[in-house]
Structure 1
Amino acid sequence: MINIALAVAALVITALVFTLLQVSWFISIPTGVIVGFLVLMILARRVQVKLETLMQAMQKEIQAGKIDRAIDILKQGYALKNHQLFVEAQINAQIGMLYYLKKDHDQALTYLNNGFSKHFIAQCMLAVIHYKRKNYDDMRKVMDLTVKRNKKESLVYGIYAYLLSQMKETDAAIAILQQGRDKLPKDDRIAANLTNLQNGKKMKMKVYGDMWLQFMLERPPRIQQEPPQHLRQRRKAMFR
């Protein structure tokens, strides 16, 4: 990674300069480490700012309904992949999520398989694709790793338990929710769904709101729209 190489170079140069100035190693080496760390932080921040700019542009395209354009914008971030660790994996995760929302699971699978493992939403989408394709062993592997690396994310336990319950593996689903309850004892969503399964009822994942709906595993709730003004007036006249 370029940023790490530059930070190490800064460390070495600083230590050498101090040595040439006949400064003690007890001072030159710690100073070099500090300089190297500062250089790394500055370079990392520069990359982060560039990525944030891309993400903002991506969001605007998504809001305009232009997902393909949003994907093209994200791909520009690959130019930074050699500068900092995990940049490529993070971009892959984001692109994979967009293809998932397009219901293009073939493309989504390609990117999500190479995505950042700590991006729990992207990893859950990967698991859902495996589930829909009945690749249940792959689904379990993805979710086991996702739970391991995202122990404080309630939705991860909920998704895993939901998929298992849909596979009629209720005991395994209960075990996952119990694991989630142990890690997040104050999470009412996990507690409620655990009680539902233990009582032979279905899980209620809508408590997770839009985070749940983006997986498209259930139909979104119908929104009751108010009829137009002229129809409301006509209805009132009929019942007078």
Structure 2
Amino acid sequence: TTRGRSTPSIPTGRTQSTATGTPATTGTRPSNGTVTTKGASTPASTRVTIPSGSTSARTSGTTGTARTSGTTGTARTSGTTTARCAEMQAVDETVSKQITVTPNELPKGENIEFQVTSTRGVSFPKDERTPTIVVQFGTPAEVQSVTIPRDKTPNANVQQFEVTFYGPDGEKINDKPILSNSSPKDDTKKPARLDSTQIPSTTPVSRLEITIVRTTDGESPKGVVLDIQACTEITT
């Protein structure tokens, strides 16, 4: 007489999932990284595999950093906040067309050359050593940095500038102009700049006035382009 082994039946409405590799009891992980689940409401087979490769995602904020590792499935955070805004170039074609200069106006259409993508920038007359550039935003934005690069255009010579910020109500945000760092005469890679630690970076700005204080050669400003980074929307 041959005795066979009967296969246990699974009650109607109840499903069972299996895992390849070393068997595991409920709540344990098989040796090959496959998770087994068992229950009346689970799918017939549910498999979760931890990838062998490593991927990482990093978000930097004003005061903190968050890092996630795909290999270990762990997360580490430092600081108290994550990135709070999406920064974008504020001086696009639309904004550049609204830029004005004092004390003397620019030739018509010249203001679009203030864009950081310009290959020549804006150069001022010999007798205009400290012009003020007025940038008006269509929508108030939180300015994160203001830079006048020296490596984007020929003969760019702005060494230092100062900025006054204005809110949506037209009032000054800073009572006194904020002075930028001084760009080394012999290093075009270190431009005059103001970053988020030096300016009211969490306050909406509608207008800013940039006055060029000095140039590297003592002449009128040449090859001027504006790199203004601002928050276009707040993220959490």
TM-score, structure 2 normalization: 0.20
The structure number with the bigger radius of gyration is 2
Q: Which one has more relative contact order, counting CA pairs under 8 Å at least 6 apart?
A: 2
The structure with more strand, counted as a fraction of residues: 2
TM-score, structure 1 normalization: 0.20
The structure with more helix, counted as a fraction of residues: 1
